Amino acid sequence: IAHETALSRFNQSFPSLIYKTVLVRPAVKPSNFSIDQKKYSKRRSYQLLFVGSINNPQDFYMKGGLEAIEVTELLQNKGHDLNLIIRCKLPEELRGRVTKNTKIKLIEEKLPYEEIVKLYAQSDILLFPSHTYVLMVFLESMYFGLPIISSDSYAVKDYVIDKETGFVVKRSDKYKFYSSPSYPVNLRTEEFFAEIKKGEYELVTRIADKVLLLIKNPMLRKQMAEKAMLRARKVFSIEKRNADLKK
């Protein structure tokens, strides 16, 4: 998406630059993780994972942390045994709500890479209803075979292939910031945070439906995991990035 945006602007003033551009995708350090290390069977309990910044509590709202909590609570109230790990700095106004839920684990301190690896490896689904541009958390999740459920915000489809490596859920029609000419860089405004804190029940239910689909279909979860790992190693490898940089 960003590449297409750049090319469209080049085309207006410098059309010759279109033929001189190379798309260099981000890359992540590969892991030795094997798909056989995960158990793909129907179980009583499942683990969801949400990852954001441990330094900036605003990141929690921008990357869909509120929706992640509401999806988890909605499904728990319907009798599903779901655990949610939040690896992010939590806004203080949500702390009481989160600490009351014994099925939500909050991790705000810095972890060594080995512990981060365990979080991905032990989780079943990355729940990431982000409203802004995302990057490394998607790549890391793909390398560890996590199906991703996200909303259709800026550039998400650059990473997640809907119905193949995860689900890209229709984003909310109620949020005005999506229609702003400055989107996605307008997300640190008071207007954005006031709007996002209201929540959007229809978006939460759409995401919850996809979570249920994955936990009820272990083979679908496994297929998405395999495709996610293959895409990470083929499209977002360090070797490919270096070759593109050299070009």
pLDDT at 177: 77
What residues have CB less than 8 Å from 69, skipping those under 6 apart? 84, 86, 94, 97, 98, 104
Residue 37, both tokens: 């290390």
Name the more confident of 30 and 119. 119
Taking only Cα atoms into account, the Rg of the chain, rounded to an integer number of angstroms, comes to: 18
Check: CB of residue 117 under 8 Å from CB of residue 87: no
What residues have CB less than 8 Å from 168, skipping those under 6 apart? 150, 151, 152, 156, 157, 160, 162
Tell me the pTM: 0.89
Mean pLDDT of 1-18: 69
pLDDT-based confidence at residue 186 (cuts at 50, 70, 90): low
What residues have CB less than 8 Å from 92, skipping those under 6 apart? 57
